[in-house]
Amino acid sequence: MTLLRITNTPRDYAWGSVDLIPDLLGVEPDGNPQAEIWFGTHPGSPSMTSAGESLADKTEPLGFLAKFLAAAKPLSIQAHPSRQHAAQRFAAGHPGYSDPNHKPELIAAVTPFRALCGFRPSAQTAELLAAIAESDESFRPWQTAFASGGYRAATQWALTQSGEVADRLVGLAAAIPDSAELLRSIHEHFPSDPGLLMALLMNFVELAPGEALYLPAGNIHAYLSGLGVEVMAASDNVLRGGLTPKQIDIPELMEVLDFSELENPKANQKLLIAGLVEYQTDCDDFKVYRVEPSSSNLLVDLSLRGKGILLCTSGEIAISTSKEETLELRRGEACFVEGANYFSILGSGTGYLAMG
């Protein structure tokens, strides 16, 4: 049986927040963006134990990666391939694929969290594009493309427009009153980016703490702001279409996208017992649970199988094994557990448990 406290160094991607992760960890901000803290065995940044050893040296490679993620400005509009598609492209040596795996993701909000996720209901998009075309005739081809070819044609048109077209869209506040503020906030960071057009085709989602998004293969998405716990399959395969200085591959993105509308982007939740909620997915790489122990919710003798990473996001929680080993976690701390047929989670707080 293994029960280890694990830590890692925050990653300073430009889209990261200056204060969200420091606040979570209870330290003073240093003025630099802190975007992610990785927990797992991923070779890009394996976790370290309290003894100063790499977690990758203490266990077999995990099939999933857990993170604290803190966004202060939009991440790229992106999607991930299916396992079959990734394996084919990787075997063919496609430069956009670094491994043969898929990359389903789930992100649970720790603070209020804003994101774009999936294509919005078609009736809403048809009404919106009609209003835009009525206000500016140069957007009539976009409306026509959607009417004749659905989201595939509308996406192809949007992603191949010039920066001038994207900037002109932002000025049509009267035609898009419900989306004007969203576009202005994205435009502040990514002016003249065709991703601005894509934002109008997608669901704008505001998550309350505890709510989550599940992003399977083909789901188009972009995180906008907030602090969350993200769990994903251990892969680096990302196809991007905008809102990023990184490589964009529109033809390959079009190959992997699921162009069906997504009426309800939020992940369903299943209450297993008081204080233990499972986020519903179709993923076989990981399962994610929200644990909320308290004096009235003692999560004892849990029999969840596999290797796990537990992240504490509020209060104090303790994990105890059947061998009477106990590890206490405070807000912002994490641990790894393996080989515990039964364990308990006690205390008073909130945590997220990823198992795989």
Backbone torsions φ then ψ of 347, nearest 5 degrees: 110, -155
Tell me the pLDDT band of 174, cut-offs 50, 70 and 90: confident
- pLDDT at residue 324, as a whole number: 78
Whether residue 55 has pLDDT greater than 90: yes
3-state secondary structure the chain: CEEEEEECCCECCCCEECCHHHHHHCCCCCCCCECEEEECCCCCCCCEECCCCEHHHCCCCCCEEEEEEEECCCCCEEECCCHHHHHHHHHCCCCCCCCCCCCCEEEEECCCEEEEEEECCHHHHHHHHHHHHHHCHHHHHHHHHHHHHHHHHHHHHHHCCCHHHHHHHHCCCCCCCCCHHHHHHHHHHCCCCCHHHHHCCEEEEEECCCCEEEECCCCCEEEEEEEEEEEEECCCCCEEEECCCCCCCHHHHHHHCCCCECCCCECCEEEEECCEEEECCCCCCCEEEEECCCCCCCEEEECCCCCEEEEEEEEEEEEEECCCCEEEEECCCEEEEECCCCEEEEEEEEEEEEEC
**From 83, 240, 290, 331, active-site residue:** 240
pLDDT, one tens digit per residue, over 176-205 is 999 999 999 999 999 999 999 999 999 999
- pLDDT at residue 206, as a whole number: 98
Whether residue 323 has pLDDT greater than 80: no
Residues found in the chain: 356
Greater model confidence, 41 or 325? 41
Tokens of 280: 């519903």
Q: How far apart (Å, rounded) are the C-alpha atoms in residues 110 and 115?
A: 14
Average pLDDT over residues 308-327: 92
- pLDDT at residue 245, as a whole number: 93
Q: Is-catalytic flag, 168? A: no
- Ordered by where they begin, the domains of the chain are 121-200 (no CATH), 269-355 (2.60.120.10)
- pLDDT at residue 209, as a whole number: 98
Whether residue 322 has pLDDT greater than 80: no
Whether residue 126 has pLDDT greater than 90: yes
pLDDT, one tens digit per residue, over 74-94 is 999 999 999 999 999 999 999
Cβ–Cβ < 8 Å for 338, 356: no
Whether residue 58 has pLDDT greater than 90: yes
Mean pLDDT of the chain: 96
Report which of 79, 77, 104 is spatially closest to residue 204, judged by C-alpha positions.
Answer: 77
Greater model confidence, 249 or 321? 249
Tokens of 115: 């994101």
Q: How far apart (Å, rounded) are the C-alpha atoms in residues 245 and 131?
A: 31
Q: How far apart (Å, rounded) are the C-alpha atoms in residues 34 and 13?
A: 7
Report which of 11, 20, 7, 29 is spatially closest to residue 209, judged by C-alpha positions.
Answer: 20
Residues 6+ apart with CB under 8 A from 339: 1, 2
pLDDT, one tens digit per residue, over 220-279 is 999 999 999 999 999 999 999 999 999 999 999 999 999 999 999 999 999 999 999 999
- Please report, rounded to a whole number, the percentage of residues in the chain having pLDDT higher than 70: 100
- Please report, rounded to a whole number, the percentage of residues in the chain having pLDDT higher than 90: 94
- pLDDT at residue 79, as a whole number: 98
Q: How far apart (Å, rounded) are the C-alpha atoms in residues 217 and 79?
A: 7
